[in-house]
Amino acid sequence: MAVVLVMLDHAGVARIAGGYVGVDVFFVLSGFLITGLLLGAAHEHGRLSLLEFYGRRARRILPAAMLTLVATTVAAYELLNYVRARSIASDSLWAALFAANIHFARVGANYFAAGQPPSPIQHYWSLAVEEQFYLVWPAVLALTLFGWGVFTRRGRVATSAVPRRVLLVVCVVGAASFAWSIHSTSASPVSAYYSPFTRAWELALGAALAVTGAWGFRLPLRAAAGWAGAALIAVAAVTLSGTTPYPGYAALLPAVGAALIIAAEFGGRPRLGVGALLALRAPRYIGDRSYALYLWHWPVLVLAALYERRQLGVAVNLLLLLAALLLSIVSYRLVENPIRRARWSARLSAALAPVAVSAAVGVALLTVSALDSRIAPTEQASAAVAAGSTADVALATGVPKAATLPAVVAAVSAALTGAAVPTDLTPPLSHLLDDAYQFPDGCDPTTQDPTTQPICHLGDVKSTNTIVVFGDSHAEMWMPAILAMARADAWNVVPLVRKGCEVPTWVGAGYPIDTASTVSVCHVWYRWALQRAERLRPDAVLIAGCCSGGTGAIAKTMSDTYSATAAALKRFARNVVLIEDEEGTAEQPVDCLLASGATLQSCMTTQTTAALAFNDGLAHLANAKRVGFLKTRGWFCYRNRCPMVVGKTVVYRDAGHITPEYALALTAPFRTAFRQCLFASCPR
């Protein structure tokens, strides 16, 4: 059940958008099985052999996991461009060291984000949580049993003492973890998703089942309880989605569901229970290979999409899952089973861990080294360009705001002649995936609780003239230009931004994509940010947000939100200016610019009239509401053609955000446009 739900979700099956709950099912199951094994060994032998336990876990987990890492790293090296391959090799290194969840939380990786495609190693976060559980829980259990004198003088377990004391520890750990999960999901959703502390309660729930089951606990109406558990998991899979705050309260559905299915089997399998269905040959066949299938399916799906440089359809993804099933069958038969069933001594089993890990780490390091040697020449050329010219697309401050930048016209003309992509780009393509504006230490709002994030003063901090920057990551990307302007004109800049909080989520209702989304977190931030802005009484507010390509109901919600935000800010700000959001590019820049045979024309996006309609409507809205509208289209596009490179500067760092280098190069036209909005009127 767990692995099939995860695979269908990852394949893009529309009705299984919450299939990621299969991981939660597995956490509960793992806590149950591991605790049961440990208690059984303690009762039988009167002791807990941690060396023997870790040896068994190493034989079961590491060979297949490290094989998949090595194969994925090599495939990325052979199939993808050097930037993607190096990123994947780095991810593989973290995964081999059982720290994938820490790594992906640190970089803010999100399975469901549209900014960049996910890593083919990203699913290793759940294995990292498992491995961290395996590292800590046996020691905690041993201390509980021995520290509380659960063993008799003869070395046997005092069975009557086990349930009460172990269950007490499990309940305390589980309750603390669940409370932290609820808090962290609201305060820092990405970190909460990957954290072992927010997931420990699910493992603890499984552990509690193992203790109570050994104690003799039996559910009434066991068959009905099992089917109720299956229903809870199914409801979670079809009602939750990638925008649901998770794990938090929502994880109760699959976790409790899994617990009910497990508990329904205590005392024997009910004749009409869900266990009878799961015990059929086909489910058991998939279940036996579920670990290998989980390992292989995600790299197969992601590498195929990265190779094709586009999102693949559901039908293609289902075929790819069949290929992953074949890989899992082969690795299960040739790798997992032979190693698991071989007769190993405890010491030899324990020695398997460093050998397997060293192999995966070695391949990752060799891959990184080989790719770095290919990257170095392009970085040196890009550094020379950056040193020779600080802004090769900037214009004089007197250029009318509504005009298209001559540098953009030249870039479009060069693209239409089939010009090649320059080799000495700035920023270098090897840095493009990480090329986002970085707030000063302690000022990054997304790492903070939305109601307690710091109020930072940037630019000319001694000035009494204040600009508030209000919005999401599309406001944040303009910070280099805003701060350069602030230093020139003595503005004190206060950013009130929250990455991931798109425009429709601000008002907290009426979001047509998913009513059970991050709306709650973002609405909390939005109300807090309005209150902070009111206290500041700024001279000007710059509003920017994602995304300009909305149509239909989404476009209306976006328009209504902009209108409500502008009206709210206008009550206490002297000037309110909406920044036109750039329409973005059709493909990820790093993939297009590094593709074989890439030209400036092949990486240029031609925007349709429909794609431009939202910003045109937003300009009319700003005029009707008597707020400024800072028009930027001519800085990115000429006659609906939008180049990915202007001069030797890369415009976009991903499909929807501009690079800090290009933002900084636009300081002069941005300053001119902003001053026109303040002292005259914004040209339409």
Each residue's pLDDT tens digit, 196-223: 999 999 999 999 999 888 777 788 888 9
Residue with tokens 């400036």: 600
What pLDDT band is residue 680 in, cutting at 50, 70 and 90? low
Amino acid at 472: D
Looking at per-residue confidence, does 103 or 149 come out higher? 103
E strand or H helix that includes residue 387: helix 346-388
- Give the least confident one: 101-110, 296-305, 490-499, 503-512: 503-512
Q: Is 231 exposed, middle or buried (0-12, 13-18, 19+ CB in 10 A)?
A: middle
| CA 63/CA 140 separation, integer angstroms | 26
What average pLDDT does the segment 323-347 reach?
Answer: 87
How does pLDDT run across 246-296, given as a tens digit for each residue? 899 999 999 999 999 999 998 888 888 899 999 999 999 999 999 999 999
- The pLDDT score that the predictor gives to residue 516 is 39
Closest of 405, 411, 404 to residue 601, by C-alpha: 411
Identify the H or E element spanning 509: none
The overall longest dimension of the chain from CA atoms, in Å, is 92
Q: Binning pLDDT at 50, 70 and 90, where does residue 189 land?
A: confident
> Would you say residue 580 has pLDDT above 60?
yes
Helical ranges in 389-496 per DSSP H: 406-416, 473-476, 479-489
User: Taking residues 629-654, what's their average pLDDT?
Assistant: 93
Q: Which of 386-390, 541-545, 556-560, 678-682 shows the lowest per-residue confidence on average (mean pLDDT)? A: 386-390
pLDDT of the residue at 512 = 42
| Bridge partners, residue 541, by sequence | 468, 576
So what's the pLDDT on residue 326?
96
Q: Looking at the predicted structure, is the pLDDT value of residue 396 above 60? A: no
pTM for the whole thing?
0.86
**Token pair 């800010």: residue:** 569
Flag whether pLDDT at 399 surpasses 70: no
Inter-residue contact 62 to 330 (CB < 8 Å): no
pLDDT digits (tens, 9 = 90+) for 521-550: 788 888 889 999 999 999 999 999 887 666
In contact, 68 and 95? CB cutoff 8 Å: no
Please name which of 478, 477, 474, 635 lies closest in space to residue 558, comparing C-alpha atoms.
474
pLDDT of residue 38: 87
> What is the structure's pLDDT at 625?
84
Beta bridge partners, 530, equal none
Q: What is the pLDDT of residues 430-469, one digit of tens each?
A: 888 888 888 887 777 665 666 677 788 999 989 999 999 9
Percent with pLDDT over 70 in the chain: 87
Confidence category of residue 684, pLDDT binned at 50, 70, 90: low
Give exposure, 403-428, as e/b (b: 16+ Cβ within 10 Å).
Answer: ebbebbbebbebbeeeeebbebbbbb
Instruction: Determine which helix (DSSP H) or strand (DSSP E) holds 9, and give its type and residue range.
Output: helix 2-11
Tokens of residue 22, six digits: 């299969």
Residues 6 or more apart in contact with residue 405 via CB below 8 angstroms: 393, 395, 399, 634, 635, 646, 669
Count CA within 13 A, CB hemisphere, residue 414. 19
Task: Give the number of residues written for the chain.
Answer: 684
Closest CA to 200 of 103, 134, 133, 260: 133
For 348-374, the pLDDT digits (tens) are 766 777 888 899 999 999 999 998 887
| DSSP state at residue 267 | T
SS3 at position 447 = helix
The arithmetic mean of pLDDT across residues 230-245, rounded, is: 90
Query: What is the pLDDT at residue 517?
Result: 40
Torsion angle of the four alpha carbons 213, 216, 219, 222, in this order, in degrees rounded to the nearest 10 = 80
- Mean pLDDT over 27-43 rounds to 89
Residue 355 has a pLDDT of 85
Provide the total of helices (H) and of strands (E) in the chain, helices listed first. 26, 10
Across 213-237, average pLDDT: 88
Torsion angle of C-alpha atoms 554, 559, 560, 565, degrees rounded to 10: 120
pLDDT at position 510, please? 47
The percentage of the chain sitting over the pLDDT mark of 90, rounded to a whole number, equals: 52
Q: Which of 90, 73, 586, 113 is nearest to 309 (CA)?
A: 586
In this predicted structure, what is the pLDDT of residue 46? Answer: 67
pLDDT at 389 over 70: no
Domains of the chain by start residue, with CATH: 2-56+71-368 (no CATH), 389-679 (3.40.50.1110)
Answer yes or no: is pLDDT of 378 > 70.
no
> What does the pLDDT read at residue 674?
92
Mean pLDDT across the chain: 85
Task: Give the per-residue pLDDT at 626.
Answer: 87
Dist. CA 408–CA 646, nearest whole Å = 6
The long-range contacts involving 114-119, CB below 8 angstroms and separated by at least 24 positions, are: 114/655, 114/656, 115/654, 115/655, 115/656, 115/657, 116/433, 116/588, 116/654, 117/302, 117/305, 117/306, 117/588, 118/302, 119/87, 119/88, 119/91, 119/302
Would you say residue 402 has pLDDT above 70?
A: no
Residue with tokens 């986002």: 436
Among candidates 596, 606, 679, 682, which has minimal Cα distance to 643? 606
CA distance 657 to 29: 41
> Using 50, 70 and 90 to split pLDDT, how confident is the model at 395?
very low
The Cα–Cα gap between 126 and 343 comes to 29
Confidence at residue 379, expressed as pLDDT on a 0 to 100 scale: 61
- Tell me the chain's radius of gyration from C-alpha atoms: 28
pLDDT at 108: 73
Who wins on pLDDT, 340 or 520? Answer: 340
